[in-house]
Amino acid sequence: MNGAGPLAGLRVLEVGHILAGPYATMLLADLGARVTKVEPPGGDLSRQVSDAYFASLNRGKRSIRVDLATPEGQEALHGLVQDADALLVNLKPSAVRRFGLTYEALKSVNERLVCVTVTGWGMDAGDEPAFDYVVQAATGVAALTGDPDGPPMLPGYSSADNSAGLAAALGLLAQVVSGRGGQIDVSLRDVMLSQLNYHASAWLNDAHAPRRLGGAHAYYVPAQIFPTGEGHLALFITHDRFWRAFATEAGIEGHATMAERAADRDGVVAAVTKALAADTASGWEARLRPLRVPAAAVRTLPEALAAAPDAVVEAGRFRLVAGPFRGAELPTRYGSPPGLGEHGDLTSR
């Protein structure tokens, strides 16, 4: 966003490509930070995907072209670092070190600089390729996703990259708030393992290995997607009050407690599936919402955006999804994504 914001005055440099790092700094820009993309001569690789793709990760930023592989580029980097509060880098570890993008390499230039690296496996794990889907496979996420009798599956969006971006933005702000410079190392692997929190705890403490449940929750029953007479319905019943309200509306008897439902998962799922066949997904949503039962018809993204017009914003010539932050004190005007080198081309010095 342009103008004032809670992060107004925070000066952030970004060096990286595609998704995790740029998403992190875009969130900071949305909140008022002055974010400058330090792009190589050919630009962020996401520019090669499409203009709309690039815009979805880079609105509200500045762009400066710098060839970090040259002595002139290194001189330009140090000049930028002198006035920066933080540097966020999304490159493989060898490139981070080769271009001198660590706190150790830059603290003589700016001792209070906060340096954040976003890598696949961590700065000490080498350069093994680590894209979003690879990390999801390696950390157990894919093994938990899909039908029990089918193959492992992946969600339809880049959950590891986006989650790492959120973590990196939080880590950066935490170190800035401390008032000290330093190095923060964020890896996609660590982020995804962290997000498997209760599954990991069940295994580490009770030797209970998680299993694929077709998207159903491991502990709550019924909490999954069900077919209906037309369309699919997501039902998420946790405590007993929700069950009583739903069961009364659906005409289901028994399984009054959470423990009883968990012990007879197959029986509960069969009873719910049979009952839901009597109406459409939208019909059930309309019936259950007034009862405060957590349920929603499965929508496509176009349908979801149509149902949430306040989540769509203008950023220059692009229509984009708004940031996840809401509040009366937050700015509401989003800046355009920058053209390559729009705010300075230091490759020709």
Beta strands in 68-141 (DSSP E): 86-90, 114-119
How far apart CA 66 and CA 37 sit, in angstroms, is 10
Question: Peptide bond preceding 222: is omega within 30 degrees of 0, i.e. cis?
Answer: yes
pLDDT (0 to 100) of residue 112: 97
**Statement: residue 258 has pLDDT above 60:** yes
> Can you give the pTM of this predicted structure?
0.92
Query: Could you confirm whether 127 is annotated as catalytic?
Result: no
pLDDT (0 to 100) of residue 80: 97
Could you tell me the residue ranges of all domains in the chain? 11-195+312-348, 223-227+232-297
Whole-number percent of the chain with pLDDT over 90: 90
Number of CB atoms found within 10 A of residue 315's CB = 21
pLDDT (0 to 100) of residue 25: 98
**Statement: residue 263 has pLDDT above 90:** yes
pLDDT (0 to 100) of residue 1: 47
The CATH number given to 11-195+312-348 is 3.40.50.10540
Catalytic residue among 30, 44, 132, 161: 161
Instruction: Please compute the mean of the pLDDT values over residues 187-205 and round it to a whole number.
Output: 95
Residue 2 pLDDT class (50, 70, 90 cuts): very low
CB 54 within 8 Å of CB 338: no
pLDDT, tens digit, 9 for 90 and up, residues 169-189: 999 999 999 999 999 999 999
**Statement: residue 126 has pLDDT above 90:** no
How far apart CA 26 and CA 46 sit, in angstroms, is 14
Query: What's the mean per-residue pLDDT of the chain?
Result: 94
Amino acid in the structure at residue 83 = D
Instruction: Please compute the mean of the pLDDT values over residues 306-326 and round it to a whole number.
Output: 92
